Chain A
């Protein structure tokens, strides 16, 4: 189709060339009959050369026409007529000057014409690019970008362009979109996405030549976003300026894709944050509203115990109610601690606190559950100040104590000791008991939430989990460590957690934990 058009154009140019030369000769013959001087005829031929240069393409026509015009003047208008010889040798100068003038006129005109053409091309390029970018600025979906680009590239270069998008995981999608005749677009399957990905990734030139398509990768800020494909047969007809335009279009497409991606990413993060906040608010509201009914359940059962004889059934039943309400209460406290932790984006509000105060407060809070059991406490003689959110560490100690109480007999000793590890600059908290210890089967799961260990179908493990997993979250958020094990010096379990003593050391711990 293109070749046909080219040939037609050539034909028209040759036709113009001949017509103008013949026309000028005829007018010249008319001039001679009328008796105008020869000067007019020379000017007439110069006009002809100018017209030919202007309306046909390229230097070749202009130069040829200047030769022919000089020849025709010689043949028709200098004596002897209808020969190429001259009597008056001064005509030779006329020929030379005429030839030179025609030559210069033709080259200048051709040059102006070519410049005009280049300018027009540039304008068309800029226009196409402008139309593309202005259409892409309003787009909010990647699919919209691809269909716009495919449509515009196809119209501009008169081909059937196609576009393939990469997923967020850096893999090519399985289908791509291609422009068809009459403004239609279809989805086609990618033959071998992996081979294509490989080829594009290893690309050293601007495009890859495949079996059916030339593929131009669309590079985003840090990844490949997709591939623009143009059928091989269409690429061969594209000239340099069209290639240049195509590359500019590819660049603006990649920019638009990047923009859409980052907008959707921001949107996703925002939604996640909102959800997280909503979840935190819900949990807090629930735990908060639990407390009021719990107070009246616990208070009332306490009153019943107070007014009944300790041996009576009523007393025993009220005691059961009280104990279960108290279990519910400790659950609520744990959930509140968790929301407190999440609110601060896992960075606790730390102040220097004396370890003895936190340990003492935890023991006092556990007074009811400890009943008359004694807890042995060893703290360093020198005052030990540790940066921490005291409320959260108190909760850790309460959970660990509660755990020790649950898993031991009333006569078995529970011991809390705190030591300063001066080498590692850490405070070490040991909570040890003299119970059966932790079975090796349970050890790996001990810090998991109970619903995960439920998948183990071991019902007995339910209930240990939540408290300990919250302990772990709190300690880790402080930049510390926690581990569980059995005592070396005889039977019993021992839980050890450490907290860093230095503020700068803390920051390091936090950043690594946040990763």
Chain B
């Protein structure tokens, strides 16, 4: 399935989950190494060639958020957080700390594999350093050079803010973009209180690109966290 066998490090204290994740990932052709603690995970990360980390937030020795911070000090390796924590603020701080994505337990394996692929693709794009001139999802295309959006091949009129929103989502295609980072990007404000303008902006954009804004095909809502542009 993959050209070369990509290596995934699973840092998770629960043995059963480690076992089934290893099985599931090896099934689809990844190489998997596992660690039961943050210490073990970090030392494996330093010594071996790793392409992606699946990280449980509730580790026995270190707080998962602390681990993300440590890794981000020296590495841009994709991190997907797996957590039983329900609290939105944990997810948001994990994402703000530099995690690429998160999944809440229990999660579907299909969903996990999709997220892994998105994260790896995102890394490849960054590695390629070629700034793409356009991107496409389904029938939706954005041209960064011309600052234009096309739906079903026809030019779609967007306001400058709508374009900024869409292009930011396209640059992070497949990944969750937190409300906070969107507010920062669009309005230059970092506090999380004034989400009303963003909600209204999103509703307007959805009415232009989605057939039914309540069952969106392109931009999904992650309640309490942010938005995600699907990567097909």
Contact = CB atoms under 8 A, between A and B. Distances in A.
Contact of B14 (A292, A355, A383): A292
Contacts of B23: 303
Interface in B199-222: 199-200, 202-204, 206-207, 212-216, 220-222
B77 interface: no
B17 A295 contact: yes
Nearest to B87: A340
A281 B135 CA distance: 47
B87 to A, nearest CB: 9
B16 A296 contact: yes
Contacts of A35: none
B106 interface: yes
Interface string B106-143: 11111000000000000000000000000000000000
Interface residues of B, number: 39
A357 B223 contact: yes
B213 A394 contact: no
B203 A383 contact: yes
Contacts of B85: 288
A369 to B, nearest CB: 12
Interface in A352-381: 352-361, 363-364, 368, 375, 377, 379, 381
Nearest to A294: B106
Contacts of A171: none
Nearest to B196: A352
Contacts of A354: 199-200, 202-203
B29 interface: no
A360 to B, nearest CB: 5
A498 to B, nearest CB: 18
B86 interface: yes
B88 A391 contact: yes
B92 to A, nearest CB: 13
A394 B223 CA distance: 8
Contact of A360 (B105, B199, B204, B216): B216
B21 interface: yes
A291 B27 contact: no
B106 A391 contact: no
A340 B86 CA distance: 10
B221 A299 contact: no
B204 A383 contact: yes
Contacts of A302: 108-110
Contacts of A351: 195
Contacts of B202: 354, 357
B62 interface: no
B105 A292 contact: yes
A292 B17 CA distance: 8
A299 B17 contact: yes
A478 B71 CA distance: 42
B215 A360 contact: yes
B20 A291 contact: no
B86 A288 contact: yes
B60 interface: no
A336 B86 CA distance: 8
B27 A303 contact: yes
A336 B224 CA distance: 15
B106 A353 contact: no
A329 interface: yes
A340 B202 CA distance: 28
A245 interface: no
Interface of B: 14, 16-17, 19-21, 23-24, 27, 84-86, 88, 104-110, 195-196, 199-200, 202-204, 206-207, 212-216, 220-224
Given A360-B214, A391-B88, 6 more contacts: A288-B84, A292-B105, A299-B21, A303-B23, A358-B223, A381-B207
21 contacts: A288-B85, A291-B106, A293-B16, A294-B105, A294-B106, A296-B17, A298-B106, A299-B24, A299-B109, A336-B86, A354-B203, A356-B206, A358-B221, A360-B216, A364-B220, A377-B212, A379-B213, A379-B214, A383-B200, A390-B223, A391-B224
Question: 8 shortest A-B CB distances, which residue pairs?
Answer: A295-B106, A383-B203, A296-B16, A357-B221, A295-B105, A291-B84, A356-B214, A291-B105
